Amino acid sequence: MPAQRNITVIGGGVTGLATAYALLRDGHQVTLVERHDDVGVEASFANGGQLSYRYVHPLADAGVPRDALAWLLRAGSPISLRLRADPHQWRWMLSFLCACNATTNAKNSAILLQLALRSQAGLTQWRTDGLKDFLWRQPGKLVVYRNAAKFRKAARNVSNPELEQVLSPHECARVEPAFAALAPDLAGGIFSPADEVADCHLFCLSLRDAMAAMPAFRQVRGIASLSAATNGRCDVLVDGRPHDTDLVVLAAGEGSRRLARPLGFDLPLYGLKGYSLTVNSRAGTLPDVSVTDYDNRVVYARLGDALRIAAMVDIGARDASVDPRRIARLRALAAQTLPQAGPYETARPWAGLRPATPTGVPIIAGTRYQNLLFNVGQGALGFTLSVGSALRICDLVRGDNAQGAA
């Protein structure tokens, strides 16, 4: 057990909450600073619900720029781009384009896979130790491909046939009968039987409730800020007042860039806007297996008695407001794919800014300030990577740098 420290975690999303919980389990005193009245209310609120431990390939890959150009010319495409007079956007996009090659993608996929599998093992332990229910299941994940070339590429990347099974269209329909009507349009699919689903917001609330019962935890509602001190450390303020702490972990999602800027950091984070619908489906119509429609970039996951449908990447969105046109497109895609699982007209819409790095690899590292650590940039994999990222922070607090900082 490491020496007990007084640690402040800034950010009450899934990454910050998991970090606080892991540090408490490691024997530290933890203060969580969150500016909202409750936790998990931004990018963690209504995401896709998939814990895709085996399917963690970064968005940046060979062929993506070409595909993106085709998407941008198509109405209702999975990716939209709004260019702005914003140097940060252009720098981020240039770095993203530089990462769009097979070698970089393979290297970063390996980093993400290691972190994801550690997340899965850690979450299993937390559940075993009594973390209360958050609609967790392990139904497996099926990624279906309509494009034959993309399916062949995905099949070539399968390294362990027991953990990732290459399926024909007929076999895809057998694995998840709710999607059987798609079989004639499919080239095939990849099924990962060990992948899981859960409600990210309920997970956030479960972590909050578990920590509230621990004497070493306290939660503070307020606006945090950071400033440089003269002793190689940074100062933390909450609502403008000094906040005493041994260490601070910045895990404030897309807002981390603003918080780090006074310390001289320009974090390569960009908020990629995503959307979801939560449908109170008709009885007997819900799929059991989690499904990703790769070519449309839409995910479907049953969470209890509801269906969560998530999709879209909007680059250049100013805020997390719901775009009615994107939601209408998502409703139309869902109605075409799972027509029996409605009613879609009453589905609850949501949008959120997912804080992504250009490479897709999060920044989990110490800094030149002795008392500051970063845990940011998980992007669309925030839920999947949250526990592994938290455990990596625990390594850094212990002084264990054997795995290297991301």
Q: Which two three-digit tokens encode residue 238?
A: 């909450």
pLDDT computed for residue 2 by the predictor: 59
6-140+194-398 belongs to which homologous superfamily? FAD/NAD(P)-binding domain (3.50.50.60)
Domain residue spans of the chain:
6-140+194-398
Exposure string over 46-59, b if 16+ CB within 10 A, otherwise e: bbbbbbbbbbbbbb
Q: Which residues contact 69 (CB under 8 A, 6 or more apart)?
A: none
Beta-bridge partners for 352? 274
User: Please, how many CA atoms are within 13 Å of residue 184, restricted to the half-sphere of its CB?
Assistant: 1
Pair 41, 350: CB distance under 8 Å: no
Residue from 136, 99, 108 nearest 120 by CA: 136
DSSP per-residue string spanning 169-206: HHHHHHH-GGGGGGGGG--EEEEETT-EE--HHHHHHH
Q: Which residues contact 303 (CB under 8 A, 6 or more apart)?
A: 49, 135, 197, 198, 199, 278
User: Please, how many CA atoms are within 13 Å of residue 39, restricted to the half-sphere of its CB?
Assistant: 28
Q: pLDDT tens digits, residue range 101-123?
A: 999 999 999 999 999 999 999 99
Answer with the residue of higher pLDDT: 82 or 299.
Answer: 299
pLDDT computed for residue 402 by the predictor: 42
Cα distance between residue 367 and residue 153, in whole Å: 38
Q: Which residues contact 41 (CB under 8 A, 6 or more apart)?
A: 12
The pTM score is: 0.95
329, burial (CB in 10 Å: exposed 0-12, middle 13-18, buried 19+): buried
Exposure string over 215-246, b if 16+ CB within 10 A, otherwise e: eebebeeeebbbeeeeeeebbbebeeeebebb
Which residue blocks in 78-198 are alpha helix, DSSP H? 87-98, 102-128, 148-156, 169-175
Q: Decide if pLDDT at 3 tops 80.
A: no
DSSP per-residue string spanning 334-370: HHHH-GGG--GGGPEEEEEEEEE-TTS--EEEE-SST
Q: pLDDT tens digits, residue range 202-260?
A: 999 999 999 999 999 999 999 999 999 988 999 999 999 999 999 999 999 999 999 99
Q: Decide if pLDDT at 48 tops 60.
A: yes
